[in-house]
């Protein structure tokens, strides 16, 4: 019988400073929830900073991603190496508030995915106007073309049933793997149910974003065509 109920997975790329603040905050929240858990940091394939030392300091699980340094490889590695019945992904840059974890967790027994949603009533984002416009356009497009009943498909701050994630094949290598997950779960899980909870997305705490705007646009355009054709 699985003794771990909740796995919190943090894909990380040169985020040692943010993790040094984020991990103890997550641990404090999980302690208050009184649920068996694990925190897994998915680092780069080869060490390029002191992320492992931060994980050792706070006694959480450190894993090097497999297959390359892409975000998609981090997600696949996290699914493979996690043990919990439920799997919650968070960004390692401090944009996802750990205090929101209980809000996501309390609904997962009744839904297939619970989403921290920026684009429903009372949700919001601190991103600039251009980034927000692009994100909203992306989400509307994915929802309409791919038939996913969700207003914030692209936010990675979600909780899933791990067994459902293990049953789908994920091939995307960039941040578009978040949409690929939702698309494939929606097609594969009978009576697929999504719960969106209003959430305020914050700007990253420290450091620079790893997202390349041109690659972001190109990748998502390619992915939506690929998924639609399938």
pTM comes to 0.89
Tens digit of each residue's pLDDT, the chain (230 residues): 469 999 999 999 999 999 999 999 999 999 999 999 999 999 999 999 999 999 999 999 999 999 999 999 999 999 999 999 999 999 999 999 999 999 999 999 999 999 999 999 999 988 788 878 888 888 888 888 888 999 999 999 999 999 999 999 999 998 889 999 999 999 999 999 999 999 998 865 555 655 555 566 677 677 777 777 66
The mean pLDDT value of the chain amounts to 90
Q: Which residues contact 127 (CB under 8 A, 6 or more apart)?
A: 135, 201, 203
Q: Where are the alpha helices (DSSP H) in 86-190?
A: 101-105, 129-146, 162-166, 177-188
**Amino acid 209: pLDDT:** 56
Which tens digits make up the pLDDT trace of 198-225? 999 886 555 565 555 556 667 767 777 7
**Amino acid 185: pLDDT:** 97
**Amino acid 12: pLDDT:** 96
**Amino acid 225: pLDDT:** 75
**Domain 6-229 carries which CATH code?**
3.90.550.10
DSSP state of 203: P
> How do the domains of the chain map onto residue ranges?
6-229
**Amino acid 132: pLDDT:** 83
**Amino acid 72: pLDDT:** 96
**Amino acid 210: pLDDT:** 54
**Amino acid 130: pLDDT:** 80
The tokens describing 82, both together, are: 């996690």
DSSP code string of 128-153: -HHHHHHHHHHHHHHHHHHT---S--
Give the closest residue to 188 by CA, choosing from 113, 86, 76: 113
**Amino acid 63: pLDDT:** 98
* Tokens 């699985």 -> residue: 2
Give the closest residue to 79 by CA, choosing from 160, 199, 187, 191: 160
Q: What is the rounded distance in angstroms from the CA atom of residue 109 to the CA atom of residue 125? A: 27
Q: What is the rounded distance in angstroms from the CA atom of residue 228 to the CA atom of residue 30? A: 38
Q: What is the rounded distance in angstroms from the CA atom of residue 194 to the CA atom of residue 81? A: 25
List phi, psi (to 5°) of 182.
-65, -40
């Amino acid at each position: 019988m699985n003794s771990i109920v909740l796995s919190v997975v943090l894909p990380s790329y040169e985020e040692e400073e943010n993790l040094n603040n984020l991990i103890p905050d997550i641990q404090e929240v999980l302690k208050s929830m009184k649920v068996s858990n694990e925190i897994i940091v998915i680092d780069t394939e080869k060490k390029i900073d002191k992320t492992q030392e931060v994980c050792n300091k706070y006694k959480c699980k450190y894993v090097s991603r497999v297959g390359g340094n892409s975000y998609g490889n981090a997600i696949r590695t996290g699914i493979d190496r996690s043990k919990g019945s439920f799997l919650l992904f968070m960004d390692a840059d401090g944009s996802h508030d750990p205090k929101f974890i209980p809000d996501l967790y309390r609904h997962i027994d009744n839904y297939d995915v619970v989403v921290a949603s920026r684009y429903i009533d009372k949700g919001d984002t601190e991103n600039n106007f251009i980034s927000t416009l692009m994100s909203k356009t992306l989400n509307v497009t994915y929802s309409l073309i791919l038939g996913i009943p969700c207003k914030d498909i692209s936010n990675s701050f979600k909780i899933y049933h791990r067994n459902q994630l293990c049953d789908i094949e994920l091939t995307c290598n960039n941040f578009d793997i978040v949409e690929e997950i939702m698309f494939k779960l929606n097609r594969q899980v009978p009576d697929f149910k999504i719960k969106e909870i209003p959430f305020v997305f914050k700007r990253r705490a420290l450091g620079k974003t790893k997202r390349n705007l041109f690659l972001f646009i190109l990748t998502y355009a390619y992915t939506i065509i690929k998924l639609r054709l399938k």
